[in-house]
Amino acid sequence: MANIEIRQETPTAFYIKVHDTDNVAIIVNDNGLKAGTRFPDGLELIEHIPQGHKVALLDIPANGEIIRYGEVIGYAVRAIPRGSWIDESMVVLPEAPPLHHAATGNQSPGTLTAAGRIHL
């Protein structure tokens, strides 16, 4: 039988940054990370950040863009210091793009049966 060691602490702090232009990342350590945690790149957390939540990689000014996946995902409600937990109360979402009107009428190349199925 394999000898599996289960650790209570992860020796290295990790975050996921998806795109080079991102100014936020996701904390991936179990149970999150506590204030004062330092990353190899010099980032230091200024508060506890739960696992799966965003951390500011740079100082983000009030109304500044919050960028993830290389895209603007929101705007800062107030200034967010580097190393801070970014929760939904700190973000205003951008306006959604307009929806195109759906086509009307039967757009299927098939035929509808009495049972409500489509045969192509």
Domain boundary assignment for the chain: 10-94
pLDDT tens digit sequence for 8-29: 455 689 999 999 999 999 999 9
Average pLDDT over residues 69-98: 94
Of 31, 19, 105, 111, the closest CA to residue 67 belongs to: 19
Residue 96 has pLDDT above 90, yes or no: no
pLDDT tens digit sequence for 29-62: 999 999 999 999 999 999 999 999 999 999 999 9
- What are the tokens at 14? 């990790």
What is the structure's pLDDT at 6? Answer: 45
Q: How far apart are CA 96 and CA 22, in angstroms?
A: 20
- pTM, two decimal places: 0.72
Q: Which CATH number fits domain 10-94: 2.40.10.220, 3.40.50.300, 3.40.50.720, 2.30.130.110?
A: 2.30.130.110
pLDDT tens digit sequence for 56-83: 999 999 999 999 999 999 999 999 999 9
Q: How far apart are CA 76 and CA 67, in angstroms?
A: 10
